[in-house]
């Protein structure tokens, strides 16, 4: 087993040991696995987000029908739609929708609008949790996103 293992994977410290990184990457691309590797695949190609107000959740759905198997694999292995994630996504969605709707209010001062715009930009930053979801919603017209002004999220 010790002799076989180095031939199947890359040595993370020394590229001269084990399988060469370039060979490993070539084999990885040929495999065409259903799982998304964020080092090589952009999740935005596969993921869309669906807010479900009645359940107070935002679930990941396939961006296109051809990606359904990929999403199912990500659900089964990574749990992308497990309860705590759909709940946390919904909290972010509520904050986002509050900011986005408030930006349409003509009575809000320009400094406050700037502050809200900055918060939305921060929510889209690579370091921010759920940035991909916020980026997805930013591509949509506000009127196309489900919302209930009377929604209480507790």
Question: 39 and 22, same structural domain?
Answer: no
The pLDDT of residue 139: 97
The pLDDT of residue 96: 98
- DSSP at 144: G
Question: 13 and 40, same structural domain?
Answer: no
The pLDDT of residue 30: 82
Question: 121 and 57, same structural domain?
Answer: yes
Backbone angles phi, psi at 18, to 5 degrees: 65, -160
At 5, the pLDDT band (50, 70, 90 cuts) reads confident
Percentage of residues in the chain with pLDDT exceeding 90? 71
Q: In terms of residue numbers, what domain contains 1? A: 1-32
The pLDDT of residue 138: 98
What CA–CA distance (Å, rounded) separates 119 from 127?
13
pLDDT digits (tens, 9 = 90+) for 77-102: 999 999 999 999 999 999 999 999 99
């Amino acid at each position: 087993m010790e002799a076989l293992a180095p031939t199947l994977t890359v040595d993370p410290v020394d590229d001269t040991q084990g399988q060469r990184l370039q060979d490993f990457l070539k084999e990885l691309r040929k495999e065409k696995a259903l799982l998304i590797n964020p080092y090589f695949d952009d999740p935005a190609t596969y993921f869309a987000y669906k807010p479900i107000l009645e359940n107070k959740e935002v679930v990941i759905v396939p961006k296109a029908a051809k990606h359904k198997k990929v999403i199912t694999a990500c659900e089964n292995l990574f749990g992308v739609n497990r309860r705590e994630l759909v709940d946390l996504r919904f909290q972010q969605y509520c904050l986002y929708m509050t900011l986005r709707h408030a930006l349409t209010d003509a009575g809000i001062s320009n400094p406050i609008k700037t502050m809200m715009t900055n918060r939305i930009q921060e929510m889209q930053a690579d370091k921010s949790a759920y940035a991909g979801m916020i980026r997805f919603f930013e591509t949509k017209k506000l009127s196309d996103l489900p919302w209930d002004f009377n929604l209480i999220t507790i």
